[in-house]
A and B are shown apart, each in its own frame.
Chain A
Amino acid sequence: MKHASKATLRFAAPRLLAALVAGTALAGPAFADTVNVAIVGEADTFDPMMSTKDVVSIVTQHFLETLYTFDGSWAVAPLLAADMPEISDDGLTYTIALRDGVTFHDGSAMDSADVVASLERWLAVASRGKGVADKVEAVEATGPLTVEIRMKEAYAPLLSLLAFSNSAAVIYPQETIAETMTDIVGTGPYRIVEHVPDQYLQLARFEDYASRSEPSDGAAGARTQAPDEIRFLPVPDANTRVEGLLAGQYHFADGLPAESYDRIEGAEGVEPMLLRPFGWPVFAINHKDGLLTDLTIRKALQAALPMDDMLYAAFGDDNFFVVDGPMYPEGWAWRSEAGTELYNQNDQEKAADLLVEAGYDGTPLRILTSRQYEFHFKMAEVAKMALEAAGFTVEMNVVDWATLGQQRNDPALWDIYITHSPFLPEPALTDLYAPTSRLGWSEPEKDAILARFTTETDEETRRELFGQLQEKLYEDVGFIKIGGFNALMGHAAGLEGVTATPWPFFWNVTLD
Chain B
Amino acid sequence: MTSYLVRRIVGMVVVILLVLTIAFVIVRLAPGDPAALMLGPEATPQDAVELRARLGLDRPILVQYLTFAGNALRGDLGTSIFFNRPVTEVLAGRAEPTIFLALMSLAIALVIATPIGIWAAYRRGSWLDQGAISTAMLAASVPSFWTGLMLQRWLATELGWFPAAGYGGPDADFLERMRHLILPAIVLGIVNSALILRFTRASMLDILGEDYIRTARSKGMPERRVVLRHALKNAAIPIITIVGLTFALLVSGAVVTERVFNIPGLGNLVVSAVLRRDYPVIQGTLIVVASLYVLINLLTDLLYLVVDKRVRY
Contacts and interface: CB of A to CB of B under 8 A. Distances in A.
Q: Do the two shown chains form a genuine complex with each other?
A: yes
Interface of A: 16, 19-21, 23, 26-31, 36, 42, 44-45, 50-53, 56, 127-128, 130-131, 166-167, 179-180, 182, 193-194, 196-200, 202, 231, 233, 235-237, 239-240, 243-244, 246-249, 399-403, 405-407, 409, 419, 421, 430-431, 436-438
B31 interface: yes
A197 B40 contact: no
B166 interface: yes
B114 interface: no
A247 B36 contact: no
B31 A406 contact: yes
B57 to A, nearest CB: 11
B170 A401 contact: no
Nearest to B269: A198
A405 B175 CA distance: 42
A449 B43 CA distance: 24
B47 interface: yes
Interface in B237-291: 259-262, 264, 268-269, 272, 275-277
Which among B37, B42, B152, B160 has the greatest number of chain A C-beta atoms within 10 A? B42
B210 interface: no
Nearest to B182: A20
B43 A52 contact: yes
Given A26-B176, A249-B164, A240 B262 contact: yes
23 contacts: A20-B175, A20-B182, A21-B161, A21-B179, A29-B171, A31-B171, A130-B47, A180-B54, A182-B84, A193-B170, A197-B93, A237-B260, A240-B165, A243-B157, A247-B156, A247-B157, A247-B160, A401-B37, A402-B33, A405-B41, A406-B33, A431-B42, A438-B45
Contacts, number: 178
Contact of B176 (A27, A127, A233): A27
A294 B19 CA distance: 49
A438 B44 contact: yes
Given A196-B264, A237-B260, A402-B31, 11 more contacts: A28-B173, A28-B176, A51-B38, A180-B84, A193-B170, A197-B90, A243-B156, A244-B164, A405-B33, A407-B31, A438-B45
B98 to A, nearest CB: 13
Interface in B26-85: 30-34, 36-45, 47-48, 54, 82-85
Contacts of B182: 20-21
A403 B42 CA distance: 16
A236 B267 CA distance: 14
A484 to B, nearest CB: 18
B189 interface: no
Nearest to B272: A198
Given A20-B178, A20-B179, A402-B32, A52 B40 contact: yes
A20 to B, nearest CB: 5
A238 to B, nearest CB: 11
Contact of A402 (B85, B170, B179, B277): B277
A414 to B, nearest CB: 13
B172 interface: yes
B275 A400 contact: yes
Which among B37, B43, B45, B90 has the greatest number of chain A C-beta atoms within 10 A? B43
Given A51-B38, A200-B170, A402-B276, A127 B31 contact: no
A231 B39 contact: no
A52 B42 contact: yes
B162 interface: yes
A56 to B, nearest CB: 7
A23 B179 contact: yes
Given A127-B39, A237-B259, A244 B166 contact: yes
B153 interface: yes
Contact of A52 (B39, B153, B272): B39
A200 B169 contact: yes
B113 to A, nearest CB: 20
Contact of B152 (A20, A51, A243, A407): A243
B175 A235 contact: no
Contact of A406 (B36, B162, B164, B167): B36
A289 to B, nearest CB: 14
A236 B277 CA distance: 16
Contact of B165 (A56, A180, A243): A243
A409 B82 contact: no
Contact of B40 (A56, A407, A430): A56
A243 B162 CA distance: 12
A403 B37 CA distance: 9
What 7 A-B pairs are tightest by C-beta distance, nearest first? A402-B32, A52-B40, A52-B42, A406-B33, A28-B171, A53-B40, A405-B36
B109 to A, nearest CB: 17
Contacts of A26: 173, 175-176
Contacts of B117: none
A56 B82 CA distance: 13
Interface in B213-237: none
B90 A400 contact: no
Contacts of A401: 37, 275
A71 to B, nearest CB: 23
Nearest to B268: A198
Contacts of A243: 152-153, 156-157, 164-165
A188 to B, nearest CB: 19
Interface string B139-177: 000000000010011001100111111111111110110
A45 B163 CA distance: 28
Contact of B170 (A42, A182, A194, A198): A194
A27 B179 CA distance: 9
A23 B176 contact: yes
A180 B164 CA distance: 37
A402 B165 contact: no
Nearest to A429: B42
A396 to B, nearest CB: 16
Contacts of B47: 127, 130
A487 to B, nearest CB: 16
Nearest to A193: B170
Contacts of A406: 31-33, 36
B39 A50 contact: yes
